[in-house]
Structure 1
């Protein structure tokens, strides 16, 4: 689960960097990368929820 949390943190940092680049400088490619990161974060959060529920049952 620690590995999953590290992946979430890394993906969120990438999202923040790209979304700020889009917001501050109007970088359209960064906006595309930010949207891609948001989809990946959704998948990672679902996986985290699943693992968290399994861990709480033990």
Structure 2
């Protein structure tokens, strides 16, 4: 479950910036949200490739 913990931690790390951007209108937090979402996308892509590799037995 280490991968799930990584995902959970990554999403949790963005919570404060989501709140600051959407609820308080802090534009700098919006930049951090976008950067965090890019990091999440990269993590998802790498994890997807890893799962596919394990599934195919390579």
- TM-score interval, normalised by the smaller of the two chains: 0.7 to 0.9
User: How many residue pairs align between the two structures?
Assistant: 57
Structure 1 runs of 4+ aligned residues shifted over 3 Å read: none
TM-score of the two chains, using structure 1 as the length reference: 0.78
Report the RMSD for the aligned CA atoms in angstroms. 1.7
User: Which structure has greater helix proportion?
Assistant: 1
- Superposition pairs of residues 1-58 of structure 1, within 5 angstroms: 2=2, 4-58=3-57
TM-score of the two chains, using structure 2 as the length reference: 0.78
Q: Which has the higher contact order (CA 8 A, sep 6+)?
A: 1
* Unmatched segments (≥5 aa) in structure 1: none
* Unmatched segments (≥5 aa) in structure 2: none
